[in-house]
Structures are given as structure tokens and as C-alpha cells.
Amino acid sequence: MSQPPKTSSSSFHIAMFPWFAIGHITPYIHLANELASRGHRITLLVPNKARLQLQHLVLHADLIVFSPVAVPHVHGLPEGTEIASEIPIHMTHLLATAMDRTRGEIEQFLTVSKLDFVLYDTAQWVPGIARRNGIKTVCYNVVCAAALAIALVPARNVPKDRPITEEELREAPAGYPSKNVVLCGAEAKALTFISLPYGEGITFYERTTTAMKECDVLSIRTCRELEGDLCDYMEAQYKKPVILTGPVLGLGSDKKSEKLEERWEKWFSGFEAGSVVFCAFGTQWILEKEQFQELVLGFELTGLPFFVALKPPSGCATIEEALPNGFEERVKGRGVVFGGWVQQTAILSHKSVGCFVNHCGFGSMWESLMTDNQIVLVPHLGDQILNTKLLVKELKVAVEVEREENGWLSKDSLRKAIKSVMDKDSEVGVMVKKNHAKWVETLSSPGFMSGYIDRFVQKLKEIVN
Ligand SMILES: O=c1ccn([C@@H]2O[C@H](COP(=O)(O)OP(=O)(O)O[C@H]3OC[C@@H](O)[C@H](O)[C@H]3O)[C@@H](O)[C@H]2O)c(=O)[nH]1
């Protein structure tokens, strides 16, 4: 680990130590950019593979430095694993163990650095070290307030001697303020993992609630306009102010997104404005082969041009070997299924894109809200289910693909959802478009995003004084 730069009295030196996942590190980098643009210096403590994948997002290389964390090997994880996108979901608890075993390295860094703040989310042991070194802590959560408020609060009675049940999770904790953003039926299953081990000798619930109890400042990447009542509930539960950063979309002051690769720029430009359906499911979801095939057939059925960026399904080394028979021939010229990394924000702002089919990861949720594309949601993990409720039931800006009782997503159901927002004369399509346009206006109104960051920085100043 490299030596950190020295702090000056006029600005903060802030370390960031987010969960080892692209969906978490990305918003931390966006926040680092915002803080650096206000003169603060940031050291990002992240695994080297994350640095290599995301360093292009850094807009102020003079003030933001990476200090790569050496992730130790943990039995049960593939050799060399550093970030969550490299492993299936059921192995991530072992990655939490690996994160905990970086403690010595992190402690050494925090001890020798002249830091004002450290931001973290998953490493519940950071506040103890920080306190001993006179550093203030911010537990910065990059999932929606709803996911925290429904599952990770003291009022959620998680049994100590057995796993929490789906039935228990379907009941919201006492005082939970939303009637719409709740878990229904089989959805509760997606959150049963909270009472299971996540690291050695600690459950997911224990580590995240400890992380939030022990910090000086509790912070969430959300805005009051979307989740004000849920943030108030979090304040009441944790008995401390909850400071929001707003969506922090990493657009910088010039509002430019990443540049789209030339081959894709050319491909997208071959279609009419607003006609292409783009699909991406974030950095972690690996579909089963059958489900993958059913979904791509659903895109084919829409008759619309489509660009699908998904990981190869489980058991397949490449996308090509996973495609249904004759599929490539049939969709030639109007459909692409790609297994690599694409510049999602650049695609979303391309004029030929008209619809975004996504898993409603918190990053994709904000990115989809910021464009005028129609939104079709296929949530997979617990927080994504709640994000989906926010967009579908509260804001009414999106539709969700209906699943069968056993969780299966049929091609017809996908086709139906896409057509319901893409057909010009569809009532649902018109309604979500209108509601969505109001949100784009709010989110892009002058001072909206920067106001949140300014107030966040102001709060940090009050805390050190
Ligand atoms: O090919 C790609 C894939 C993804 N991305 C970017 O990677 C990010 C993915 O983040 P998301 O939050 O949407 O999704 P992930 O699944 O990766 O996130 C994870 O952490 C955040 C949680 O809310 C999600 O539930 C969890 O899955 C987005 O910013 C997206 O623009 C690309 O730029 N290109």
C-alpha cells in the first residue's frame, strides 16, 4: 500500500473503503469526484482489479489517488478473487471474510495517514480503528434507504438462534413508513440472507447494523424527494442525523458521460431515434442458461432493434455458445447480444435508444431516471426489488416484467412489458413517460445535485469543528 499524501489545513483528506463490488465502488468514485471538485483530497482503498476497471471514471487525478488493497485468499473462493463480480452471489459471504482479513493493512494505513474522514459501508470494524486515530467516520450507503429501513434497523427483530423466515420479512418493522415499498409473496426470499453469516462469526444483519451504529455520520446515496419519509425513519432508528448526498451520478460539472466505443456508436446510429431497446443487468447477475435463452427470445419477439449486454450464463464460457439455435441469423442487423463491458451511461444517452431493460441495481436505477428512456425492470436481489417498487409503485415511471410463481421470466412476459412502454398508443407507456419526464426535470434542475453535495460537505465541516 502506497504512502498517502499529507493534508493541508484548508481541505479534508478523506479515505474511502467501500465494499469490494463495482456497484459500490462506482458511486464512491463519483462522490470522490464531487468532493475533489470542491478541493478535497481522496484516497480510494480498493482492490487493484476494481482500480483497473474504474480508474477512467476519476475526473481529478491530482486529488484522487488509489491505494490498492491486497485481498487475501480465502478457502472456497477462486484463487485471485478480488471483487464480487468475479464470483456467484452465493460466494460473496467469503469475500466479506477476505475484506475482514485486510483489517491489518487498513489499520496501518489509517494510523500513518493524516486523515480527517473515512467513508465505508461494509467493514463494521473501521470506526474502532478510526476513533483510536482521531478520524471521523461516515457510513456511506449506496443502496436505497428503503432497503436499509425494511431490513437493517434495530426494529427488525432478527432471531439470534435461527435464520429469519420469509413470513417474518413480509412484515415490515414497527413504524416503517411505506405501504408500497414492501416485500410481497416470494419477494421476501431475496432478503433471507440477512441472518446468514457474512464474514467469520458475523451475520449480514449484524455487520451492517453495527456499521451504522458505530459511525459518526450516517449517510445514504439518495434524495429526500424520493425517500424523505424512509430517511426520517432511519434517523429515528439510529438516533442520529442521516445526511444525504443525492444521486451522485458522476456526470461532473460538464455533464458528459463516458464516450461510447466507436463500433457501438456506429451500430446504434443505424437506427431511428428512440427505437432501440437496451438491456443490462449490472455487474453481478449471472443467469441460468435456459433463462438467458428465454430472455433473448423475448427481445427477438418484440420485433424492435435491441442491444443486450449480459454476462455469459452459468456453465458457458461465451455468449455465442449460449444463444438459441438460429437466433443470430434471425436477428442479424437488428439485434446484438454482447458479453463484455459496455459504456452504459453513454448508451443510455444515445439518441437511438428508447427503452432500458434493467435489474434496477441502485446505480442503474439513477442512471435510468436521468434519461428519457422508457424503463422496464427485472429485479433480482433484495434491494433491487425495493428500488423497483419505488419506480413502479411510488413514482410510476416504470413497469416490471411479471414473473411466474416459481420466479421464471417468460419471453412473452418480457415482450409484453417492453411493448407496453414502447407502443406509441399504449396508455401505460404514455403515463410512465409523463411521470418520468417530471423526474428528469427535478433531477436535472440547476443546483439539485450540487446542492446535495454542498450540504454534505457543510455537514462534514460542522463535525470536525
Ligand atoms: O457493462 C456494463 C455494466 C455495468 N455498468 C455500470 O456498472 C454499474 C452497475 O451498478 P448497479 O448498481 O446498477 O448494479 P450492480 O448489480 O452492479 O450493483 C450492486 O450494487 C448496488 C446494488 O444496488 C445492486 O443491487 C447490486 O447488485 C452502473 O453504474 C452501470 O452503468 C457499465 O457501465 N457497463
Asked if the structure places residue 3 within a domain, the reply is: no
Tens-digit pLDDT string for the chain (465 aa): 644 444 455 799 999 999 999 999 999 999 999 999 999 999 999 999 999 999 999 999 999 999 999 999 999 999 999 999 999 999 999 999 999 999 999 999 999 999 999 999 999 999 999 999 999 999 999 999 999 999 999 999 899 899 999 999 999 999 999 999 999 999 999 999 999 999 999 999 999 999 999 999 999 999 999 999 999 999 999 999 999 999 998 765 444 567 899 999 999 999 999 999 999 999 999 999 999 999 999 999 999 999 999 999 999 999 999 999 999 999 999 999 999 999 999 999 999 999 999 999 999 999 999 999 999 999 999 899 999 999 999 999 999 999 998 999 999 999 999 999 999 999 999 999 999 999 999 999 999 999 999 999 999 999 998
Asked if the structure places residue 6 within a domain, the reply is: no
C-alpha distance from residue 191 to each of 13, 173, 182 (Å): 36, 14, 12
Ligand 1 nearest-atom number relative to CA 342? 1
Q: Ligand 1: residues within 6 Å at CB?
A: 21-24, 26, 143, 280, 282-284, 309, 341-345, 361-364, 367, 381, 383-384
- Same domain flag for 221 and 324: no
- As a whole number of angstroms, the distance between CA 464 and CA 233 comes to 26
User: If you ran DSSP here, which 8-state letter would residue 384 be given?
Assistant: H
- Same domain flag for 84 and 126: yes
- Same domain flag for 347 and 437: yes
User: What residues make up the domain containing 371?
Assistant: 262-443
First-last CA distance in the chain: 30
Asked if the structure places residue 257 within a domain, the reply is: no
Q: In the prediction, which pLDDT does 143 show?
A: 96
* Beta bridge pairs of residue 374: 355
- Domain with 147 in it: what CATH number? 3.40.50.2000
Asked if the structure places residue 64 within a domain, the reply is: yes
Asked if the structure places residue 51 within a domain, the reply is: yes
* 3-class DSSP state of 219: strand
Alpha helix locations (H) across 113-248?
126-132, 145-151, 166-170, 204-214, 224-238
Q: Are 57 and 29 in contact (CB under 8 A)?
A: yes
Q: In the prediction, which pLDDT does 1 show?
A: 60
C-alpha distance from residue 457 to each of 9, 360, 383, 464, 465 (Å): 15, 28, 27, 11, 13
Which of 283, 356, 357, 362 to probe ligand 1 with, by most ligand atoms within 8 A of CB? 283
How far does residue 26's CA lie from ligand 1's centre (Å)? 8
C-alpha distance from residue 73 to each of 99, 351, 460 (Å): 10, 45, 36
Asked if the structure places residue 396 within a domain, the reply is: yes
Q: In the prediction, which pLDDT does 256 show?
A: 52
Is the ipTM beyond the 0.90 threshold? Answer: yes
Asked if the structure places residue 370 within a domain, the reply is: yes
User: If you ran DSSP here, which 8-state letter would residue 203 be given?
Assistant: B
- Same domain flag for 154 and 92: yes
- At a CB cut-off of 8 Å and minimum separation 6, what does 135 contact? 15, 110, 115, 116, 117, 118
- As a whole number of angstroms, the distance between CA 125 and CA 201 comes to 13
- Same domain flag for 173 and 282: no
Q: In the prediction, which pLDDT does 462 show?
A: 95
Asked if the structure places residue 343 within a domain, the reply is: yes
- Same domain flag for 381 and 357: yes
